[in-house]
Amino acid sequence: MKKIDSYILKKYLTTFFFCLILFTAIVVVIDISEKTDDFVKSKLPASKIITDYYFGLVPRIDAMLFPLFVFIAVIFFTAKMAERSEVIAILSSGVSFRRFLFPYWVGSVFLAGILWLVYQFVLPRANAIWGTFEAKYVDYYSPADARSFPQNYYFRLDSNSYAGIKYYDTTTKTGSNFFIQKFQHNQLQYNLRAENISWDTAAKKWKMNSVMERFFKNDKESVVRHATLLMNYNFKPVDLRKDEYLKDRLPTPELKELIRKEEMRGSEGINSLLVERYNRDAIPVSVIILSMIGATLASRKVRGGSGFHLAVGVILSVLYILFGRFSLVFATKGNFTPFLAAWVPNIIFGLFAYYFYRRAAR
């Protein structure tokens, strides 16, 4: 690697980490000022607050704004180089624009790799730490209860069996109007209905009250009634918990397993899980794309200096975030493919990056 590559790469990484550390410090100070009362009520020592709260919050904030930090850092130091005519001097010495971008590629791939590992393994753990503290010490007195009560919940037990429950309380692990239907060759073979269902913690089975079983065979129906019935099904209370943030707390291998189970059950809301899975790969790639856009935009010396480039960078960052939000809504609420929802912002801004590169390389 040439000296000029080392010079640019050093500028890249030092500017980025300076922005990251500075913004993180600002966020922590603001958060402390807002949650001082909650920390006092918790009666926890400072060391416990740091390990049980800020070890979760800081990675969340940094991962969320990581691509933006990269983008702003690239625009800032490249615009400064352009102002001092360093870029012109480099290109005038016979270095092609493509070769000039080489250290940007190296730096962006390095940072994208770090962010990818964070999204796969570190961030889910941080979300779990932060979420546990928030629920226990910050939202404890909030009128919005953290418990969830799924209603009209339907799911698949296996390839031929389906179940449903009208109401389920995740706290007491009890529900009402439970049913199971089993089919064979598209014909109903078995139907079970129970007025109430609850989890028996001692037997580790489901206990049902006022149960009616109906069996269908050769156009004949038989009915069996039970006052109570203890059954072992392939779902547990945790499977009925309607936790929309569970996907954020699972490392990628566990998230894949959850997706597999939910697909087998035919659960609703599977698209949100798939978008989360694909986003963990797509967001790190955005670091490379935004780096190239920032380098090609800021390498040209313009009137207004770095201020103009930073303004353009902020506008593009906002547009990138909006594209991501819109595609997420279309995937979870509409029929947009989750894979495309995660990758559309990268595809669109990848085209922008190519256009800016071709324009700057002339």
Tokens of 27: 């966020």
Tell me 209's DSSP state: E
Place of tokens 């109401």: 167
Tens-level pLDDT at each residue, the chain (362 residues): 589 999 999 999 999 999 999 999 999 999 999 999 989 988 889 999 999 999 999 999 999 999 999 999 999 999 999 989 999 999 999 899 999 999 999 999 999 999 999 999 999 999 989 988 887 787 654 544 444 556 788 888 888 999 999 988 877 889 999 999 999 988 999 999 999 999 999 999 999 999 999 999 888 999 999 999 999 998 888 788 767 778 999 999 999 998 988 888 777 778 999 999 999 999 999 999 999 999 998 998 776 666 777 787 778 888 888 888 888 888 877 778 999 999 999 999 999 999 999 988 87
- Computed on alpha carbons and rounded to an integer, the radius of gyration of the chain in Å comes to 27
Q: Which residues partner with 181 through β-bridges?
A: 162, 191
pTM over 0.85: no
* SS3 of 162-185: EEEEEEEECCCCEEEEEEEEEEEC
CA of 65: how far to CAs of 18, 70, 129, 235, in Å? 14, 9, 19, 38
d(CA 238, CA 254): 15
**Contacts of 223 by beta carbon, 8 Å cutoff, 6+ apart:** 212, 213, 214, 215
